[in-house]
């Protein structure tokens, strides 16, 4: 920190400053992502899958390439879901006081109660499917979120679980396209930030992908990754491998249920065709019902990917 900068900021003169990388890159570092067989899923407002590798691939069609925190490495990020975990919160708030009262009676938070009840709903939600286009991609602005398959058996917890299943099924599709283009396959998934605190979400990702799902031990993985950059930059650790060994600890592991994985594999084939049928309908209603959404704007979009990236499941 220079004397001039210190006068402007109040930060002590001479303090070492270490440049890190973008938010997703330090999150990946803080989660311990370092091999091409691991898919990191960031379960925040924007939900996306990431992996790492040694090549700059600017012409990829199923993902985009960013610099990783580690020199000479790159972070590959799949297309994802805008308003991802935001949609989960939206439904929680929409369900209102009745669900909140039930949570208080059970001595749980609203989220814990929803996850507990949704875990009792059978996989596949008795046929309820949710496509998470609550915020449409720029190349298809007519799209809307879709919930279909009601037949009277489903209730609020089916709806909640269906959103979680929609997130997992969408990421399975987008991350699968990234894996195909990279010539790799996923040996396990690693889930981080907000949504990873849900055991139900963790189990869904294990069941949908058919490989173990690991929870990041530190919820603020981006903060940890930035600290790891500082540790290497100031010499506290010699290499990023040393920093990862000393600073990243494994979290809980969820193993897939073979029967549930078989069901989600079949269901995923149907799920990926939904937009073929809904797109023509939404194109027509786009001009009839108006183009502006009444849903409040979400938190600012992450800066690590283009705003026009496809969000298709």
Indicate the length of the chain as a whole number: 313
CA torsion angle 164 218 224 35 (round to 10)? -70
Decide: 128 and 150 in contact? Cβ < 8 Å: yes
In a domain? residue 63: yes
In a domain? residue 8: no
In a domain? residue 5: no
CATH code for the domain in which residue 125 is found = 3.30.420.40
- pLDDT, mean of residues 78-87: 94
In a domain? residue 54: yes
**Alpha-carbon radius of gyration of the chain:** 21
> What is the predicted pLDDT for the residue at 259?
98
Q: Which domain holds residue 234?
A: 19-289
Say whether pLDDT at 303 is over 50. Answer: no
> What is the predicted pLDDT for the residue at 298?
47
In a domain? residue 233: yes
Distances (CA, A) of 65 to 53, 113, 182: 10, 38, 11
Q: Give SS3 for 124.
A: coil
In a domain? residue 110: yes
* Domain total of the chain: 1
pTM score over 0.85: yes
Say whether pLDDT at 307 is over 50. Answer: no
For 37-66, the pLDDT digits (tens) are: 999 999 999 999 999 999 999 999 999 999
In a domain? residue 12: no
Say whether pLDDT at 162 is over 50. Answer: yes
């Amino acid at each position: 920190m220079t004397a001039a900068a210190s006068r402007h900021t109040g930060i002590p003169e001479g303090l070492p400053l270490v440049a890190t990388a973008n938010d997703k890159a330090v999150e990946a570092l803080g989660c311990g992502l370092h091999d091409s067989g691991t898919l990191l899923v960031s379960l925040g407002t924007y939900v996306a899958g990431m992996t790492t590798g040694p090549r700059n691939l600017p012409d990829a069609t199923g993902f985009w390439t960013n610099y990783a925190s580690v020199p000479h490495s790159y972070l590959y990020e799949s297309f994802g879901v805008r308003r991802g975990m935001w949609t989960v919160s939206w439904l929680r708030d929409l369900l209102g006081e009745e669900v909140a009262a039930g949570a208080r009676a059970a001595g749980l938070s609203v989220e814990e109660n929803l996850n507990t009840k949704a875990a009792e709903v059978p996989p596949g939600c008795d046929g309820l499917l949710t496509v998470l286009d609550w915020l449409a991609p720029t190349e298809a602005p007519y799209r809307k979120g879709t919930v279909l398959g009601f037949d009277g058996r489903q209730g609020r917890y089916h709806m909640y679980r269906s959103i979680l299943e929609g997130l997992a099924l969408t990421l399975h599709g987008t991350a699968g396209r990234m894996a195909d283009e990279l010539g790799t396959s996923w040996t396990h998934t690693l889930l981080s930030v907000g949504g990873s605190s849900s055991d139900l979400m963790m189990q869904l990702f294990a069941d949908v992908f058919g490989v173990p799902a690991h929870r990041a031990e530190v919820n603020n993985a981006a903060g940890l990754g930035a600290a790891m950059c500082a540790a290497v930059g100031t010499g506290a650790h010699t290499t990023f491998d040393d920093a990862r060994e000393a600073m990243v600890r494994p979290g809980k592991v969820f193993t897939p249920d073979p029967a549930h994985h078989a069901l989600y594999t079949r269901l995923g084939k149907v799920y990926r065709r939904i937009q073929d049928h809904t797109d023509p309908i939404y194109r027509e209603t786009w001009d009839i019902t108006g183009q502006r959404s009444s849903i409040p704007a979400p938190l600012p979009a992450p800066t690590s990917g283009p705003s026009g990236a496809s969000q298709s499941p």
